[in-house]
A and B are shown apart, each in its own frame.
Chain A
């Protein structure tokens, strides 16, 4: 058994930078049919960012419509379709697959020291399932559209006669669910079975722990949304009555089914983001992560808790008071593992040698925004205040702070962190910091005003706030907040366009990236940038992924090196 080894160097690997995964083979088919996890990750990244652009455009339409009282650019039906598609695209196409499928696919096997994920074909199949789901979801526009909101609540989704896109959308969600399940299965098996000798569970970077916990959620929760949308489709096609009270069914059952998936899905979105933040904060403050095991196990704890809090979405849907109290209490307990992470990150920063470069700025933004989202979550988890805040802009602001301020900001930070590794190019640090500032300011202007709107009573999903049903004072007050919220969204959009500009620019004009520009210690920084086809030209040093003392700065290469005075990893067998 020992004769089959990984240590045998691949031919030609002695001159590493010549052949990498980008130049290994060429032609469009070498990408579309690739089984290389790195190429699949890049294809995912490009596709997901495209979907992000599309979802962002729908958000812009919504913000433009709400900027002033009265109808602006969208009719009521168009407005409903716009916010529904914004939600569907951002949730199902962007944030749920975002980090695991793109960055996770790229760095997970390399971080682990493996050549590929466990099932490369399944990985490619999962990508094409995503593409199919994306095409189906977006094409609902041409089949009458969908106006139910991304939650697809019955009876909106079962009784509407004009909006025939709903069947297509349920199919899209089903297909996307399979894509997510296959990614999860792939990553769990990879982490279990493809760790090379020396890579123990507690030598894995925390990003991998987060991806592992996410994988469990993807596998355990996603089938339930599958059966839910299947029931919804059958209900709509044949009127079986399962969600229809006139036939003896129960519409709240749909909400239970839906949130049994969609609450864990919130953690499918945020956990990988937390994993990225653990990497960014430790690497860019050049200090060992504080409380490794606590952060690792808090990911698993969050995954477990996430399954038993779904009822807090239904405090006002006619649940029994006892259930409300129980769900409220469990919801509060999610704060414990989340806070464990936040305090450990703060303790990592403490006395660290912090580099305020672009990835780190995103990590710090995450800390601020995620803390706000967590704390406002407590307002909504409290039964009494939730009655007031339910279905208002407070909820909208809260989950945008989580989904965007948390998950997406972390993803953008991760993209900046691993961009040199993925593309082999450095981007402009100055423009990177500028864009991060624009997004941070724009984001808070957009969504903090919505906390105000919500607490003043502006309901979500309303097309307008002018007319006989609104007092002039309300129209004026909401108008002011909506105006500034829209201004904020424009600032944010400018930030994103700036990012698109300098990242694309770096592909052509960027400086060549060294193997280790930031001083990272996990294995992906030991292979060349961009990595060779088989990831490692020589077996990597597996060790403590946050022990930065073994690295030193090389002025000539503008990157970090293994210290010359150390022959071997300290403590390595």
Chain B
């Protein structure tokens, strides 16, 4: 520390009472942030392990499922995030040099990148939701199809009951179908996956009512006889991992707004830029996780 730093008093305002020097405080903050990033890696690590287990056990799910992800959108998002990391690094450098204007511009550009990423993710998610590619028990249970094909009053299958998939019908109840009451009837083109040991495997019916060509094409693909059992599991792990990542991007947006407010108020200068530096580290790890997610889901 130069003597000019402490002309007014020994302790600058930003230096908490239990630290001797700003350098000590900065290094402690940085170590703390790195430890926190380690916990983030482990948090996602659990899901990466889950991915590895499933991919190892059921490679066909991933081969099948990844066709339904839009690689172009994923690639654009990757570029957007990497660029936002660049602008963040730029913002950090500006903060270290005391360039307030550069810091504000850098943070704004990073925010724009984060917003763009979330926007594209929103488009991707809504497409899948519309198609009913939910994970688990709701997979392929499109809201628009629901009233037509699935009667909530039907009993839940149990031991000794026969599950009979019936082609599309106007009938709305067992009585209308004219079948004995102890036979469980699925009035559906799709057997919900939770209803049998082999999940979606039994499903072989392709009757659809869709007029939209693009959607119909995908519907048919997902209903193909060669669709692997439990195809929904791909979307299960996909939504968990990208969803958790999306929440972290959202958190990053919060951090960035907070930093922006601080930058506008002039809180940061070449002697005190710790929050910008730590926020930058966080943003880079969010970016890094996506760089792993993109090839794992979209490319391979």
Contacts and interface: CB of A to CB of B under 8 A. Distances in A.
Contacts of B137: 238-241, 247
Given A242-B240, A247-B193, A219 B43 contact: no
Given A5-B20, A6-B20, A114-B18, A189 B45 contact: no
Contacts of A235: 136
Contact of A222 (B18, B39, B240): B39
Contacts of B145: none
A116 B11 CA distance: 16
Contact of A253 (B17, B53, B194): B53
A120 B50 CA distance: 36
Most buried by A among B3, B32, B50, B138: B32
Top 8 closest pairs, chain A to chain B, by CB? A248-B230, A227-B46, A240-B136, A115-B18, A239-B137, A223-B42, A241-B136, A116-B18
B194 A249 contact: no
Contacts of A109: 18
A553 interface: no
Interface string A192-229: 11100000000000000000000000011111101110
Interface residues of B, number: 49
Interface string B185-204: 00000000110110100000
B32 A220 contact: no
Interface residues of A, number: 50
B21 A193 contact: no
Interface of B: 1, 3, 6, 10-11, 16-18, 20-21, 24, 27-29, 31-32, 35-36, 38-40, 42-47, 50, 53, 58, 134-138, 193-194, 196-197, 199, 229-230, 232-233, 236-237, 239-240, 244
A224 B18 CA distance: 33
Contact of A220 (B38, B136, B138, B229): B38
A4 B6 contact: yes
A122 to B, nearest CB: 8
Given A4-B10, A246-B199, A253-B53, A181 B39 contact: yes
Contact of A4 (B20, B134, B236, B240): B20
A239 B138 contact: yes
Interface string A1-28: 1011110000000000000000000000
A253 B3 CA distance: 59
Interface string A418-449: 00000000000000000000000000000000
A222 B151 CA distance: 43
Given A114-B18, A231-B240, A241-B236, A247 B136 contact: yes
Contacts of B196: 246
Interface string A84-127: 00000000000000000000000001000011101110100000
Nearest to B47: A227
Contacts of A452: none
B28 A194 contact: yes
A550 interface: no
Contacts of B240: 231, 234, 240, 242
Given A4-B6, A241-B193, A247-B193, A224 B17 contact: no
Given A219-B38, A223-B42, A240-B240, A4 B194 contact: no
Given A193-B24, A247-B136, A247-B230, A242 B50 contact: yes
Which applies to chain A's interface (DSSP): helix, strand, loop or mixed? helix
A496 interface: no
A436 to B, nearest CB: 36
A185 interface: yes
A40 B203 CA distance: 60
A270 interface: no
A168 interface: no
A188 interface: yes
A484 interface: no
A171 interface: no
B136 A238 contact: yes
Contacts of A253: 50, 53
Contacts of B47: 227
A250 B54 CA distance: 10
A329 B288 CA distance: 37
Most buried by A among B18, B138, B199: B18
A548 interface: no
B195 to A, nearest CB: 8
Contacts of A249: 233, 236
A497 B30 CA distance: 45
A49 to B, nearest CB: 27
Contacts of B136: 235, 238-242, 244, 247
Given A228-B46, A241-B137, A242-B236, A247 B10 contact: no
Contacts of B134: 238
Given A241-B135, A249-B236, 13 more contacts: A5-B20, A188-B31, A193-B27, A194-B28, A219-B39, A223-B42, A227-B45, A239-B137, A239-B138, A240-B135, A240-B236, A247-B193, A247-B230
Nearest to B23: A1
Nearest to B36: A185
A257 interface: yes
A536 to B, nearest CB: 12
A499 B44 CA distance: 44
A234 B229 CA distance: 22
B293 to A, nearest CB: 15
